[in-house]
Amino acid sequence: FHWMSSRKWGIVTANDTPSSTDPVSSHVQSDTVMFRLFFLFGVSVVLRLEYLLAAAIVRAKAREWSENKIRIFSARVISLTHATLSSIGCLCSLLSDSEYVKEPYDYSTYSAQYIFLFSMGYFIYDMTDMYIHGEAPYSKEYFIHHSLVLTAFSIILYTGKLFGFAMIGLLVEVQTIFLHLRTMIRLTGYAKKRSPAYNALINANMVCLFLFRHVPVTYLLYVMLYKDENCPLPLRAFLTCGLAFLTYHNTHLTISMVKADGFFGYEMQSLDEDHVDPLGPVKVKKS
């Protein structure tokens, strides 16, 4: 793993690497790493506080809802926050700098690291949240997904490579905005009315599912298998396996939403809060 030996988590490019013999540079590097760790776990803490606030507001406004329903809706508020902010950062980066696509392996920027760290903070929060609420044993697909992303982002930040790869992969969060909005509207019961606005939402969700999930993952698989010549074999194998899992994950998601939302000849399903998640129910005790 010689490709890792000269990298530190806080380093962006080879030209920015401080000399290990320079105490000033080493101190700056140490401070930078500590700040990023503070940012990472700070995101998790802030999202936890947002969840508690969201749950309190929903509990006060929807007194007839069960604790189970309040829990699921509040969790989607946090997921929507992450998807929205990640999408903004990802789209702004890709639209303002074509080097992410042209040089997905070698190109890196300082600002992109905080987009990745924000998502890592969310995934750490989400895994902890599922564990706290006893959902971990019934959320294996989410745990595998989150663990793969956390591992990949950690490697990317440590090596200073594959920033373009990660940024293209984050395009999935654009579709996730529509996914969480759809789930939240279903929880409120407005989906049963099949209003033009809701129909537009589920159609946009399905279009974005292919445009921002299937297309980017397929493109990244193509890059890993046929195009990229720089990525070391162990890392290429890990990323290819991760992308293969994401392909399964996205296919599972697509089939579930096609059936639930009434596409391609299926009738739209009426779902309670335990089954509104397209990847299946989680074990939560109802009040």
Range of the domain at 51: 25-260
Count of domains observed in the chain: 1
Q: pLDDT digit string (tens) for 143-186?
A: 999 999 999 999 999 999 999 999 999 999 999 999 999 999 98
Given a contact cutoff of 8 angstroms between Cβ atoms, the answer to whether 74 and 180 are in contact is no
Give residue 73's pLDDT band: very low, low, confident or very high (50, 70, 90): very high
Instruction: Report yes or no: 40 and 150 within 8 Å, Cβ to Cβ.
Output: no
pLDDT digits (tens, 9 = 90+) for 22-54: 554 454 455 588 899 999 999 999 999 999 999
Residue 19 lies in a domain: no
What does the pLDDT look like over 1-27, one tens digit per residue? 434 433 444 444 434 444 444 554 454
Confirm whether 7 is domain-assigned: no
Give me the phi and psi of 269, to 5 degrees please.
-90, 145
Output b/e per residue, 148-186; b: 16+ Cβ within 10 A.
bbeebbebbbebbbbbbbbbbbbbbbbbbbbbbbbbbbb
Indicate whether 277 belongs to any domain. no
**For 243-260, how does the pLDDT look when each residue is reduced to its tens digit (9 = 90+)?**
999 999 999 999 988 988
How far apart, in whole angstroms, are the C-alpha atoms of residue 252 and residue 213?
A: 12
**Domain presence at residue 15:** no
The reported pLDDT for the residue numbered 23 is 52
Q: Is 35 inside any structural domain?
A: yes
CA dihedral 135, 140, 141, 147 (to 10 degrees): 100
119 within 8 A of 86, measured Cβ to Cβ: yes
**281 part of a folded domain:** no
| Residue 151 resides in a domain | yes
Q: Write down the pTM of the prediction.
A: 0.85
Mean pLDDT of the chain, nearest integer: 85
8 in a domain, yes or no?
Answer: no
Among the ranges given (81-90, 156-165, 232-241, 257-266), the one the predictor scored with the smallest mean pLDDT: 257-266
Burial of 42 (0-12, 13-18, 19+ CB in 10 A): middle
Looking up tokens 């579709």 gives: 175
